[in-house]
Chain A
Amino acid sequence: MKWETVIGLEVHTQLLTASKIFSGASTMYGSEPNTQACAVDIGLPGVLPVMNVEAARMAIKFGLAIGAEINRHSVFARKNYFYPDLPKGYQISQYELPIVYNGKVEIDVDGLTKIISITRAHLEEDAGKSLHEDFHGLSGIDFNRAGTPLLEIVSEPDMRSAAEAVVYLKKLHELVRYLEICDGNMQEGSFRCDANVSVRPEGQETFGTRTELKNINSFKFVEKAIEFEIERQIDVLESGGAVVLETRLYDPDKNETRPMRSKEEAHDYRYFPDPDLPPLELDEAFIEAVRQTLPELPDAKRARFKRDYKLSDYDAGVLTATAAMADYYEDAVRKSKSDPKLVANWTIGDLSAYLNKENLSIEDSAVSSTMFSGLMKKINDGTLSVKTGKQVLEMLWKGQGADATDESTAAESVIIKFDLAQISDRTKIEQVIDKVLAASEAQVQQYRNGQEKVFGYFVGQVMKATGGKANPKQVNEILKKKLND
């Protein structure tokens, strides 16, 4: 039997607020345990929640970016369950009336555009963390994370393969970072994903029984966990069994999913409106003010890059992967007044290689976009060849040029200091070529007898003699002329 996979994702994004959603404690990651858990966060008797305006703004920003409806009236509800990392015995979340609903995200699958519908995105508070290691059979609880604002983005079951799920997840990841509402750090848990997975015989309309996969916190694991789960479900069904509706934990070490013991009992969360929090009422002015802060979104930026800079799909995609990358590129193009394709090649090629080697993001590049623009200018006007260009980039990366009066002249000062400017003086090049030809009579003879591939040898010799600085175009031209004379 042929099986069709059905996947929906629930993505938890930690919002980049300074303080928590309902308290004034810091949301900073990585502090000593429980030093950022205030009275409200640990749920002391008598404390009360007060909502952070920025969390609302960020949720709206996301909603506007995916063309969703913004609820003018949304309600915070309590989700009741016991767990040691949940200080109050309930999580403040949104249930019946979420702040954002009915949006959509477009993804590219094998060159085709597919729409993934977003059912809802709601605000809620994160829980603390249970640490299981080194506690001689006990667990230690850290509430620093408790109360960090989360936007939970729930998709419709619109994806049909693990690969599609990953494309969608990457798209969301890119979007929330563009919007600057989430840092997207999956390792630190600021961008987390649960997947609802089911299979059904191809052609069947009703959905199969789904399982919910948890703990899949990298793009790689999302793909692997879903693939494993699809296989598992198909095996179960083909051997005459039935898939059980359950929550399963992905174990990346064993690459398998297994039922979560803590979720074995039936859920009965007893949601009801939180009496401590009146409904969140949003007026048009508030929403409009958020709309004004929307940046150019990734899809629009990509289209513009392709159009304005005449870039390929691939180049535009890489250069708009993050807003910072796109800003860097555009700054370099603008300041260098160089061929955008040339700047794109150098950004995607050599510059990215340095970044990747040192595992840096573009924001932390040792060569600023201004320095880079100085370099691009010198390549674009022929002062530098590809080879010397690479040398200059390396020197800039290593800190040379720091003595320049300003960043835009750093490349130039390196070029002067190390005498790397291209030789484009015709007389000079002719002198070198004459010398080379005079010293290579045998090769000249071969060439003139029709062995044209010897031509490369002459070029090499000229370059060697000039330390690679001779203008290659002129070298070619003059060589041809002299050899054919």
Chain B
Amino acid sequence: MGPEAVINKSLAELSRALQSKETSSVDLTRAFLERMDTGQGLNAFITVDGDRALEQARAADARIARGDAGSLTGMPLAHKDIFCTKGLLTTCGSKILSNFVAPYNATLIERFNQAGAVILGKTNMDEFAMGSSNETSYFGAVENPWDRACVPGGSSGGSAAAVAARLAPAATGTDTGGSIRQPAAFCGITGLKPSYGRVSRYGMVAFASSLDQGGVLTRSAEDAAYLLSVMAGFDPRDSTSIDRPADDYVGSLEQDISGLTIGLPRQFFGEGLDPEVGRRVEAAIEEYKRLGVKAVDIDMPNCSLAVPCYYVLGPAEASSNLARYDGVRYGYRAPEYADLIDMYKKTRSQGFGAEVKRRILIGTYVLSAGYYDAYYLKALKLRRLIAQEFEQAFQICDLIVGPTTPTTAFKLGAKVDDPIAMYLNDIYTIPANLSGLPGISIPAGFDNAGHPVGLQLIGRYFDEARLLNMAHHYQRVTDWHKHTPAGFA
């Protein structure tokens, strides 16, 4: 199979090609490395170690030859630079970790290693996953392959751009308030955020621990099912990991969906939603109806307050999680300082970018004496109300469906100086994080500017199989997910 053929295949197809020895892991890995080399200029990757990748590929080929291969053996994958990779830089998009070579592997990386997958490289991201445009990265912005003047979304912007531009068959990401689903929507790919506790957080650099969840950015729901099958599972190193075996995600893709009910929250279709996005989403809902799915309107009033709630809880946890970057044990330390406190302050001020500082400050503020009850505690209670809204909704529907984002990809620089406008990008994605629920974004067409539109599905807790099954049926009858940006075909 030539490089051209390889590039445009889905992960599921590549998996079959590897197993049937139509291609080798080395050929596959080399094809993607060359594609990165030819300089697509998207700035999607922070670190690529070709030699190491090829070494892993050779080992995988040996494994395939031995007949000891699984579905991902030999598969090159890109990983968000938030997952610790032993012996490879793990920067989290920050200057403060710009020299950090992790001495251990994240559980997710370990699982992929055991499956025999190849690490193609580490993808660019918003600094500490704080951002919705990938513009807060210390390593520079990432371009959207559909429109290179536009952002790819964030924080998993590098992963989304890489998959959309066919620089990798699939990539991992993390989602704290929409950081997988929003860039997936902006880049016209599939992005799955599993339930909180489904994928281990061990070795995933923490942003907001009660919201963070690792997931994948892929070309299809089927590809996502392959990856989730390897990633999902109990990890004794993570106290929030749930001891429940993974479902058969691939096996349940084809299950019948007729008779299921989708709920359409009024609040996801109101003010702020770009009419073109709205139309594409409506069309997708019609598609589902044709597949025998029932649609009901639901009301989730508190969900409209998910953004304020999130901008208390996320920053609060982040302000504490990022306290460890103090220049003492690893990472960046300011070159000059007068004393200990000065070392802390200079290290952190030079090491963190503006958005990270902003969130540390707001988080410190909402937890500080005199403000805790009014902000932090209030947000925890509101979070409960939002979670209860989902519980009630799932009494009458099996999944919740709506747009992933209010608009399609916006111009680079357009919202850098307007944090509020930036934050509102995640208005439809945040509720699932607050409630720990799984969500997926799938391509549902394009707006008039040719920018992809994402359709979001939110499922019951641990109902990833149903989510993927629903997404897969849509992708069987549509081909939005098969479109490739011009210049990257």
Residues of chain A at the chain B interface (Cβ within 8 Å): 39, 42-51, 78, 80, 82, 84, 87-90, 141, 268, 270-272, 275-278
- A44-B103, A51-B239, A275-B210 given; 8 more Cβ-contact pairs under 8 Å: A43-B324, A45-B97, A46-B202, A50-B239, A78-B320, A272-B316, A272-B372, A275-B240
Question: Which A residues touch B104, using CB under 8 A?
Answer: 39, 44
Distance to closest chain A CB from B34 (angstroms) = 31
B376 part of interface (Cβ distance < 8 Å): yes
A89 touches B329 (CB 8 A): no
User: Of B322, B367, B372, which is in contact with the most chain A CB atoms at under 10 Å from its CB?
Assistant: B367
B222 part of interface (Cβ distance < 8 Å): no
Distance to closest chain B CB from A96 (angstroms) = 11
Asked if A270 meets B368 with Cβ closer than 8 Å, knowing A39-B103, A48-B201, the reply is yes
B52 part of interface (Cβ distance < 8 Å): no
Bound CA span A84–B326, Å: 8
State the total of A-B contacts with C-beta under 8 angstroms: 97
Asked if A44 meets B320 with Cβ closer than 8 Å, knowing A141-B328, A268-B368, A278-B240, the reply is no
Residue in B90, B92, B324 whose CB lies within 8 Å of A88 = B324
Question: Which A residues touch B295, using CB under 8 A?
Answer: none
Distance to closest chain A CB from B206 (angstroms) = 7
Question: Which A residues touch B324, using CB under 8 A?
Answer: 43, 45, 87-89
B329 touches A87 (CB 8 A): yes
B426 part of interface (Cβ distance < 8 Å): no
Bound CA span A89–B317, Å: 12
Bound CA span A46–B237, Å: 11
Question: Which B residues touch A278, using CB under 8 A?
Answer: 239-240
B12 part of interface (Cβ distance < 8 Å): no
Distance to closest chain A CB from B144 (angstroms) = 28
Bound CA span A199–B445, Å: 76
Distance to closest chain B CB from A149 (angstroms) = 16
Mark contacts of B307-321 with chain A using CB atoms, 8 A cut-off: 1 yes-contact digit, 0 otherwise.
000000000110110
Question: Which A residues touch B340, using CB under 8 A?
Answer: 84
Asked if A80 meets B205 with Cβ closer than 8 Å, knowing A48-B239, A49-B239, A277-B239, the reply is no
A80 touches B209 (CB 8 A): no
Closest to A266 in B: B369
B100 part of interface (Cβ distance < 8 Å): yes
| The 9 residue pairs across chains A and B that have the minimum distance between CB atoms | A89-B323, A275-B210, A270-B367, A275-B209, A46-B203, A45-B205, A43-B324, A88-B324, A46-B84
- CB pairs A–B below 8 angstroms (26 shown): A44-B330, A45-B102, A46-B84, A46-B106, A46-B202, A46-B204, A47-B202, A47-B203, A48-B238, A50-B236, A50-B237, A51-B239, A78-B320, A82-B323, A82-B326, A84-B328, A87-B324, A87-B328, A88-B324, A89-B323, A141-B328, A268-B368, A270-B320, A270-B367, A272-B316, A275-B208
Closest to B241 in A: A48
A45 touches B84 (CB 8 A): yes
Bound CA span A275–B376, Å: 13
B394 part of interface (Cβ distance < 8 Å): no
A46 touches B239 (CB 8 A): no
Asked if A44 meets B102 with Cβ closer than 8 Å, knowing A88-B323, A88-B324, A89-B320, the reply is yes
Bound CA span A276–B324, Å: 15
Closest to B345 in A: A82
Bound CA span A51–B240, Å: 12
Question: Which B residues touch A44, using CB under 8 A?
Answer: 84, 102-104, 329-330
Bound CA span A46–B236, Å: 14
Closest to A88 in B: B324
Question: Which B residues touch A46, using CB under 8 A?
Answer: 83-84, 102, 106, 201-206
Bound CA span A413–B329, Å: 63
Question: Which B residues touch A268, using CB under 8 A?
Answer: 368-369
Bound CA span A90–B363, Å: 14
B364 part of interface (Cβ distance < 8 Å): yes
User: Of A47, A141, A277, which is in contact with the most chain B CB atoms at under 10 Å from its CB?
Assistant: A47
B90 touches A45 (CB 8 A): yes
Residue in B204, B240, B323, B376 whose CB lies within 8 Å of A80 = B323
